Structure 1
Amino acid sequence: MTTAVRKKLIEVSIPLEAINAASAREKSIRHGHPSTLHLWWARRPLAACRAVLFAQLVDDPSAWPGRYPFPEIANDEDAERRRLHRVIEALVPWEASNDEAILNAARWEIARSVAWGLGEEPPPRSDGKAILDYLQTKAPPVYDPFSGGGSIPLEAQRLGLRAYGSDLNPVAVLIGKALVEIPPKFAGLPPVNPAAQAELKRGGRWQGKGAQGLADDVRYYGRWMRDEAEKRIGHLYPKAELPDGSEATVIAWLWARTVRSPDPAAKGAMVPLVSSFMLSTKEGKKTWVEPVIDPAASNGWQFEVRTGALSKVDEAKLKEGTIGRSGGGTCILTGSSMPFSYIREQGQTVGLGVRLMAVVAEGQRSRVYLSPSDEHVRVAESSKPAWEPEGELPNNPRDFKTPNYGMKTFASLFTPRQLVALTTFSDLVAEAREKALTCALDAGPSDDARALHEGGIGGEAYADAVATYLAFAVSKSSTRSCTLSIWETGMGRLAGAMGRQALPMQWSYAETNPLAGAGGDIAGTAISVAENLQNLGRVGPGQLKNLAAQKNSFANTPVVISTDPPYYDNIGYADLSDFFYVWLKKSIGATWPQLFRRLTTPKDEELVATPYRHGGKDGAETFFMTGMLEALAAMRGAATEGEPLAIYYAFKQAEVGSDGITSAGWASFLQAVVSSGLIVDGTWPLRTEATNALKAAMNALASSIVLVCRKRPADAPVIARADFMRLLKRELPDAIDAIRRAGVGPVDMQQSVIGPGMGVFSRHAKVLEDDDSAMTVKTALALVNRVWEEIENELDAAFDAETQVALAWYGSYGFDARPSGELITLTTAKNTSDRALFQSGVFENLSGRAALVGRDKLPADWSPAADKHLTVWECVQHTAARLNAENGGTEAAARLVAQMGAKSADALKLADRLFHVATNKGWSAEALVYNELAEVWPKLEDAASAIAVGAGQAAPAQRGLFEGVA
């Protein structure tokens, strides 16, 4: 029977472990990943976005009791839920991004939920085209009003849905258009460049899919730009002479900033500010720069490159350089100190200088480091840029450090030679566009003469598209062609700026050769852009707009809202993105006139609580709360009634307090959510960082939380604090059990419990305190955390007596041996005996001493079915031991679970309890064992069901992911 609002999968259960694992792994994917198109900060992992969208749109089995795809599980909601989990588990790996079999399986599940909600039958499961057509016409569109790097609209599009997004920042909008909007316009078209057209005319056949033709043109014209640039500015990048007299291509020039020594004995000499003198720290290839005092040299010293063996002491000394993070610098001529205050004063008045430290050339098998050359200095100084970016850097002392030292403009972040190169590349984008236009018109004349920004799809628009992706290549290369790039001594390569969300001061920097084929090479950067592009444009259209979320009227409603708003007082992306905006404006300002109509990106409406922009902390908080409330209220008004909203919240690692997860940012954001008329229906913690072990504190926060929200009815009741507490105590136990069954590990439980707890709070119009004032979100969070802890503590009394004794002993002594008398005291309190505990195999008798039996001592032939007095403690410890690959792994552990019966649910609760005990004791290795056990338990139960079927027992059959509907 259909209900007005059907529960969606995301409101009940998702395979969090698989989503987090795929999200973390995605960080290591480079070739073809959207992050390689262009940098955008805090981009949500595609795996997480894909899974969340799927779970937002697919009905939970409880919405259709008994109406499941397979008759065998018609009366088992959990079995159907686990089947949907397996769909997600197949969907989230990076390799599934363009796997049509996996994607169609997921699309059909969405189409099925949409169809049943409309009282229709879904399209055939095997007809991919019919499924896509159905989703494009019947499924609600997805909208992300804080689209940022475009991950959410891109994944909505990949799932076959209509994808919309918007952002205040024009750089973000252009990235989103390049991912979602442009590729489908030119999907299936062959490349137009002369080489490709010549091949086609010789009888070749274009076999590309999606935007692969456009990608081929980007590669072609990127190489043309590089070759043309070498003709024009190649003389600015001379080769280096090697010790044997031969010549080699220079990869990079390494420079050090200099400042006038404050010591009169130095006679006004400019001395180096070097963060480290090491050039290569590879074993057997140690190379460093040595400052040599030479009265005949400029300023009385010179740099010389040395290679050879180094003691650890000498290497450590060289790594100290002449300037550190604290205390300032040291004059190499006199040893006098140069405090940061002095260096800042010099930078802001007379300016800092630079000195060439070393030249890095391409050897036959490795990098070759050479001492500075006067000729190379002369060539660098001969560069005269005809254009430079306009604009001052922001007054943002937290994230922009260079203005402290006199580098206050965008132009000051680049050397003259870098400005010449980037300007040349920017000019070549326009020339490449004209060439692409000529070829496009020759290849297939079109009546559509509209530009791309006008919605065109003809030759003009195609040339605009080629230029857009080439401009991204120029913009990307600017991070490696600026004075904030550094040389990675361990890897022997250049690392670009924006390694973190700031522009720090770099005392020694690396200047790349953008024509050498190494980091920052324009042709190579264009190829990386094309690698991303060739995977796009295979599904339906999408649209991105330049619009502030708090002013969004959502013309195309209702929509499914899935979004990642800015964090309360996180980085100001508008300030940072100006670094790219100035070069994109230079390259394609005329191609996208509306996006680049300003001198820099818009700042005033950016929803970040930035004190320096809003007159202090209080003004910044008021601005954020007002704007976020407006944005969330607009989302609530635009959202569908049938699907929940998904709102990502990025956590900082320091946001755990004594009362649980509380902070000004978190409480302010959650308050805005509740005040906008939304109910927080669930919270799922997402982890995007790969870790081999839990962090030392064991309570490290996930990278972000996904809040699942519904609209609060206008007639929601008002309740008192006492009623709120009663509801929490009544509802949280079942909610916590459901979260455990979903495979959420204990380490993530605190964040996950926020959802059902805040669900109780936010479904009421108000919760009144004893003085009739409205309870704040921060207070509600603390109360939810308190009730959760009470529930966890009450679990102990529900376990069998032996397990209660073992748990109490473990909390005091772990697996250490203690006098038997202490065990007798515990057993008396629990109405059992030490003899019973020895016989059960929970404890071992050590002749006057006792200890819990360690997992390494457990018998390998233990069986729950054969144990005459089965305890929950044994179930947990034996299963944890069997999970070890040497002891049989998952299959062996599942066989134990298959024999536990009702004890399985209690074992999962005990694993969670033991995790918290181990965490509080600081036993990281033990805590990790129980966290992993809790996370894998649902899979063990799945495997146990299959084992039971094989043994002839009654259990639901587990069907394959792509098997047809019976």
Structure 2
Amino acid sequence: MTGKLLERVVQSAKRKTADGKPVCSDAEVLFVDSLVIRALNKENEQRAENQRLTEMLKTKYPDISDNPLLLSWETENRPLPQPWPNLDDMLPVQRVMGDPARAKALMGFAKKYQIHFPGNLYGYDRAFQKLAAPLQSAPPSSSAAGLTVLDPTSGGGSIPFEALRLGCNVIANDLNPVAAIILHSTLDYPARFGVKLAEQIELWGKKLLARLDEELSIFFPDVAPIPAREKKSLEKHLDKIPESVLQFDQENVTAYLFARQVICPHCGGEAPLLNTCWVSKKPGDAWGIRIAPDGKSKNGKAYFETYQMCEGKGPDGEDPDFATVRRGVGICIHCRQAVSGDEIKTQARGESSHGRWQDRLYCVVASRFEPELDKHGMPRRFKSGIRKGKVRTRKIRFFRPPNDTDLKALEDAEKALAERWENWKSRGWIPTEKIPFGQKTSEPLRYGMSRWCDMFTPRQLLGHLTLIEGLNDLSPRILEQLGPEKGRAVVTYLQYAIDKGLDYNSRQTRWIPQRTSVSGTFGRHDFSLKWTFGETIFIGPSSGAAWGLSQVTDAYKGIASLLSSAHSQIKKGEESRIRIYNGPATHIPQISDHSVDLVCMDPPYYDNVQYAELSDYFYVWQKRTLKDLYPEIFSRRLTNKKEEAVANSVRDGSAKEAKQAYQRMMGGIFAECSRVLRADGLFNLMFTHKSQDAWETLTRSLIESNWIITATVPVESEFAASIHQKHKAAAASSIFISCRKREQNQGFPAVWTGIGGSGVQRQIQDAVEAGLKEFEPLHLNPVDQMVACYGRALRVFSEQWPVMDGDDSVNPVRAMNEASRVVSAYQIRRITANRLTVDDLDSESAMALTFFGIWGLGEFSFDEALNLSKSLNISILSKNAGYRVEGRMMGMNKQIPGNRSLGAAEETAGFHAPLIHKGSKLRLARPEERNPDRLSNPQTGWDILQGLIREYRKGDIPLARPYLEKHIPDNRHVVLDLLRIWGAEAGHPDLKKEAENILFYFNSIVERGMRPSKASDV
């Protein structure tokens, strides 16, 4: 039980009889009422669904029928015994500790077999929803109350937020003005004004939306009759009650989809650029878009039609994967000739003789309602509740091409914007600031968006500017009625509601067909060009603007509820425990020396996100409503990029200089943290970046600033389905690094290789091996395991720093390479159950197996692979077709068109090397991608493994047996061990089954002590 039921248990335990005696003195109970009965019914429904899932799984994958995890899940989901208890019965309650490791294992199981276990597998609410225990009850030695916590790079403020909930004095700082305003909104205002401020946010927000509805209604067509195709479907649905058709003959538009369109330089025709024709990938309700040319050979027009799909195709065989732009090159739907990337960019910037490209509305997303019918074809009605007697309805989403009304609304909006432009510009409300050239902002500049207002279509800009005008008009009234502080808070939250619309209504959004919804501008942490984009409607109760207001209001209520304790203390007259600063983390003069107990930070991750460049998108809008309220924060034209602690090769001139600048600025931050921290204080920082280069730069700054790493702990923190993580060999865990001040430097440096194995190298090996044993219960993914071991190695290294190897200084990379070597050896022992070690394998097989154990068949960074190979004393060499494996090397082929090795004949397909190089990424070649001649004449154990699998796929055991007998008569166990690893680690049920089939045959031959001599043996 969680939530309301759990709260009722606590109340029920205190319930008393009529004579005032406790109902139950030493046990918790739950009294049965209608809510409990509904919960029991819902639980049984859920269990029945889970049982159905397990039966489906066992039917589809018979080999997992005895899987312990599945069996325990099946047992747990047996139906609850009936009949149910009577109302007012008393049920004893037993509390059981949650098992997050098992929940995580179930999630992994579900992901592997592509199913969804409904409900909350953890069995308890998320951690942040649980308020901290009363601090007064904690022993003084363990209480955080009164401690001073600093986060010098606070961002959105999650660290100071939790510190505030624990009763700490909080200091939050961030260089970014957008982040600084967020800190006021997530820490200061909720603690000062409490949940009730939400009423004022909602009240004034509705006034702002009412003005928007009044001024923009003519630019968003109101409810209209549904299209002919939908009406035909409705009439069929209501064939028993045709008089009801008129009642439901109305559509509600929810979104508009746009594509970029250029003029074909060859035929002069309209060339819309769609990178997909999918508009919905919802199971059972998939839709596509058809681009229909008018058939003219010159100056042709393009039209759009929508269609529902059946078995992945349109009614006339249309392919929704069809695209008119790929890799930046377009194709004209009229003459079928290519439109070059340069021509597209030229038209985007308005520099082409063919004119400027345009935003073309190609699809309208709408919905309608229809009644649910009973078996007699009559409408079903609610039988109880506030809607008793009303017809039950269901929403039908559909997609249609734009009509004349839609197109006229766009034209009218563009005219209205032009009419109001000069007035709004004179009042300084239009963000006409130039977009500066930067690492992330170079992309919009390349496609003609030179000002921040160019990120929006005319209708979007009209809507956003109407809201800005409305908020500026309302602000004086809000400040007058609520006072300067509370009024400032309300105006700030209303600007956040506008910001929500800015995020979801721009030329940088994306339409997500899997969810049939618009994705925000920053779904990818960049300004990359979006060939198609979505627009939500601005007016009405279901508008994007109304949604933005509800999102902000709900978020405020949640935050304020979690800070209720801090609010209560302020209401009692206690001084606020929050200090917020906006400045560089390298210099925070407002904080006294040695005044902070804990520094806790989530530092900028090298070149991971260019926060300042991205934040300008919101900054230019926020300063138009908030500048007078926060003059010290909105004093600059754009955000401060010069002092931002990130690696920015555009700002700094080159990748090398960017690395040096990042290291220098991080060193400055760490030095400032040392200044303000007490001598016995603790410094905690979180690090998620998986790049060894980022680790080396961060830790060098840390160690050279006289910090000793005392502990490293991996904590799962990233959303696995995030677009930043998806399809990448990415670190899904943050590593929490704890540091203490170095009291004084050693009088002499430590040695890397000491006499009798006593040097730092040996200590790192011991620390990493101990860490691997400690991490086993956590079931970390291999990349996280490697990153966590970096921390163990750096702990030893920082304690002994400086370290010398002869006359050469040892840098942190050397320590991490040593950790990589230990981890790779461990991986090979682990996945072969100690049957194989690196020394048992040739160099290519050892390296391939190590890569496979860590990254599987996915992509991984060339730099990380190179560092890992160096730790094993194996060279990764780029080779042409037909190379020979010589010495401690692993061959690598560059991927070129046709999936063949560089130097191979055009007709010779497949990669000779087991490793494929493309761009800055590597991956292992699959068996079917390898060159047949190389596998027919294998040079390594990995070649034989992949050749064996390839032969099995071609002709089952009859072809696999002679291949194996020919190539490994004496070392069969090595390749069979590799095959076991392949099946266990490949991560797909089909590959596992394939490996098991081969192993079953060859193991049975070994057990019989003979080779097959007749066909029946095969």
Q: Under a length normalisation based on structure 2, what TM-score does the superposition of the two structures give?
A: 0.59
1:538 aligns with 2:538: no
1:300 aligns with 2:360: no
The DSSP-based 3-state class of the residue aligned with 1:494 is strand
The DSSP-based 3-state class of the residue aligned with 1:104 is coil
In structure 1, distance between residues paired with 2:818 and 2:640: 40
Counting matched residue pairs gives: 652
Q: Is the 8 A contact 2:308 2:314 kept in 1?
A: no
Q: Is the 8 A contact 2:760 2:797 kept in 1?
A: no
Match of 1:341 in 2: 342
Match of 1:905 in 2: none
1:571 aligns with 2:609: yes
1:242 aligns with 2:226: yes
The DSSP-based 3-state class of the residue aligned with 1:319 is coil
1:230 aligns with 2:213: yes
The one-letter code of the counterpart of 1:527 is S
In structure 1, distance between residues paired with 2:616 and 2:833: 60
Match of 1:521 in 2: 544
Q: Is the 8 A contact 1:399 1:501 kept in 2?
A: no
Match of 1:150 in 2: 157
Match of 1:370 in 2: 400
Which string of whole-angstrom CA distances, capped at 9 and with x for unpartnered residues, describes residues 235-264 of structure 1? Answer: 11112442359543321222222111111x
Please state how far the C-alpha of 1:483 moved relative to its aligned partner: 1.6
The DSSP-based 3-state class of the residue aligned with 2:596 is coil
Which string of whole-angstrom CA distances, capped at 9 and with x for unpartnered residues, describes residues 98-145 of structure 1? Answer: 534xx126785574336xxxxxxxxxxxxxxxxxxxx55xx3311011
The one-letter code of the counterpart of 2:133 is N
Match of 1:921 in 2: 981
1:751 aligns with 2:780: no
In structure 2, the CA distance between the partners of 1:408 and 1:700, relative to structure 1 (3 Å rule), is closer
Select the residue among 614, 638, 659 that pairs with 2:652: 614
The one-letter code of the counterpart of 2:663 is M
Tell me the C-alpha RMSD between the 2 structures.
Answer: 3.9
1:436 aligns with 2:441: no
In structure 2, the CA distance between the partners of 1:550 and 1:527, relative to structure 1 (3 Å rule), is same
In structure 2, the CA distance between the partners of 1:241 and 1:108, relative to structure 1 (3 Å rule), is same
Match of 2:599 in 1: 561
In structure 1, distance between residues paired with 2:156 and 2:537: 29
Alignment of 1:689-700 (within 5 A): 689=718
Match of 1:276 in 2: 276
In structure 2, the CA distance between the partners of 1:327 and 1:400, relative to structure 1 (3 Å rule), is closer
In structure 1, distance between residues paired with 2:670 and 2:735: 17
The one-letter code of the counterpart of 2:636 is R
Alignment of 1:50-449 (within 5 A): 95-100=126-131, 103-104=132-133, 109=138, 111-113=140-142, 135-136=144-145, 139-186=146-193, 211-239=194-222, 240-243=224-227, 246-263=249-266, 266=267, 268-294=268-294, 300-310=300-310, 312=312, 318-326=319-327, 328-348=329-349, 349=351, 350-364=355-369, 365-383=395-413, 384-385=416-417, 386=421, 387=424, 388-396=430-438, 400-440=442-482
Please state how far the C-alpha of 1:758 moved relative to its aligned partner: 2.1
In structure 2, the CA distance between the partners of 1:181 and 1:473, relative to structure 1 (3 Å rule), is same
Q: Is the 8 A contact 2:256 2:536 kept in 1?
A: yes
Q: Is the 8 A contact 2:751 2:759 kept in 1?
A: no
Q: Is the 8 A contact 2:147 2:597 kept in 1?
A: yes
1:466 aligns with 2:497: no
Select the residue among 682, 686, 700 that pairs with 1:671: 700
In structure 2, the CA distance between the partners of 1:270 and 1:755, relative to structure 1 (3 Å rule), is closer
Please state how far the C-alpha of 1:582 moved relative to its aligned partner: 1.5
The one-letter code of the counterpart of 2:150 is Y
Q: Is the 8 A contact 1:144 1:562 kept in 2?
A: yes
In structure 1, distance between residues paired with 2:310 and 2:770: 59
Please state how far the C-alpha of 1:467 moved relative to its aligned partner: 0.6
Match of 1:590 in 2: 628
Q: Is the 8 A contact 2:294 2:300 kept in 1?
A: yes
Match of 1:687 in 2: 716
Structure 1 unaligned residues grouped into runs of 5+: 1-81, 115-134, 187-210, 441-458, 656-662, 797-803, 814-916, 930-966
Which string of whole-angstrom CA distances, capped at 9 and with x for unpartnered residues, describes residues 900-943 of structure 1? Answer: xxxxxxxxxxxxxxxxx9999345469999xxxxxxxxxxxxxx
In structure 2, distance between residues paired with 1:805 and 1:488: 42
Match of 2:61 in 1: none
In structure 1, distance between residues paired with 2:173 and 2:979: 43
Select the residue among 687, 690, 693 that pairs with 1:649: 687
The one of the two structures with greater contact order (alpha-carbon pairs below 8 A, sep at least 6) is 1
In structure 2, distance between residues paired with 1:336 and 1:737: 62
Alignment of 1:597-636 (within 5 A): 597-636=635-674
Please state how far the C-alpha of 1:228 moved relative to its aligned partner: 1.9
The DSSP-based 3-state class of the residue aligned with 1:499 is coil
In structure 2, distance between residues paired with 1:698 and 1:337: 32
In structure 1, distance between residues paired with 2:284 and 2:176: 48
In structure 2, distance between residues paired with 1:331 and 1:476: 36
Between 223-232 and 143-152, the greater mean CA deviation after superposition:
223-232
Which string of whole-angstrom CA distances, capped at 9 and with x for unpartnered residues, describes residues 320-362 of structure 1? Answer: 4443332611111111111212211222214211222122223
Alignment of 1:660-809 (within 5 A): 663-689=692-718, 701-717=731-747, 718-723=749-754, 725-726=758-759, 729=762, 733=766, 737=770, 740-741=773-774, 743-745=777-779, 747=781, 748-771=784-807, 773-786=808-821, 807-808=834-835
Please state how far the C-alpha of 1:806 moved relative to its aligned partner: 7.4
In structure 1, distance between residues paired with 2:742 and 2:766: 23
The DSSP-based 3-state class of the residue aligned with 2:628 is coil
Q: Is the 8 A contact 1:553 1:634 kept in 2?
A: no
Match of 1:476 in 2: 500
Structure 2 unaligned residues grouped into runs of 5+: 1-96, 105-121, 232-245, 370-394, 425-429, 567-576, 841-976, 990-1018
Match of 1:494 in 2: 518
Please state how far the C-alpha of 1:592 moved relative to its aligned partner: 1.4
Q: Is the 8 A contact 1:728 1:787 kept in 2?
A: no
In structure 2, distance between residues paired with 1:221 and 1:298: 55
Match of 2:587 in 1: 551
In structure 1, distance between residues paired with 2:183 and 2:643: 20
Alignment of 1:853-932 (within 5 A): 921-924=981-984
Please state how far the C-alpha of 1:417 moved relative to its aligned partner: 1.2
In structure 1, distance between residues paired with 2:281 and 2:789: 47
In structure 2, the CA distance between the partners of 1:699 and 1:484, relative to structure 1 (3 Å rule), is closer
In structure 2, distance between residues paired with 1:576 and 1:715: 41
In structure 1, distance between residues paired with 2:183 and 2:334: 53
Which string of whole-angstrom CA distances, capped at 9 and with x for unpartnered residues, describes residues 345-387 of structure 1? Answer: 2222142112221222231122232322223222212223334
Please state how far the C-alpha of 1:439 moved relative to its aligned partner: 4.0
In structure 1, distance between residues paired with 2:123 and 2:750: 41
The DSSP-based 3-state class of the residue aligned with 1:549 is coil
Q: Under a length normalisation based on structure 1, what TM-score does the superposition of the two structures give?
A: 0.62
In structure 2, distance between residues paired with 1:394 and 1:182: 33
The DSSP-based 3-state class of the residue aligned with 1:417 is helix
Q: Is the 8 A contact 1:393 1:409 kept in 2?
A: yes
In structure 2, distance between residues paired with 1:554 and 1:416: 45
Select the residue among 488, 491, 505 that pairs with 2:529: 505
In structure 2, distance between residues paired with 1:919 and 1:607: 47
Q: Is the 8 A contact 2:441 2:613 kept in 1?
A: no
In structure 2, the CA distance between the partners of 1:376 and 1:299, relative to structure 1 (3 Å rule), is farther
In structure 2, the CA distance between the partners of 1:640 and 1:235, relative to structure 1 (3 Å rule), is same
The DSSP-based 3-state class of the residue aligned with 1:363 is strand
The one-letter code of the counterpart of 1:422 is H
Q: Is the 8 A contact 1:732 1:788 kept in 2?
A: no
Between 682-691 and 239-248, the greater mean CA deviation after superposition:
239-248
The one-letter code of the counterpart of 2:203 is Y
In structure 1, distance between residues paired with 2:742 and 2:587: 22
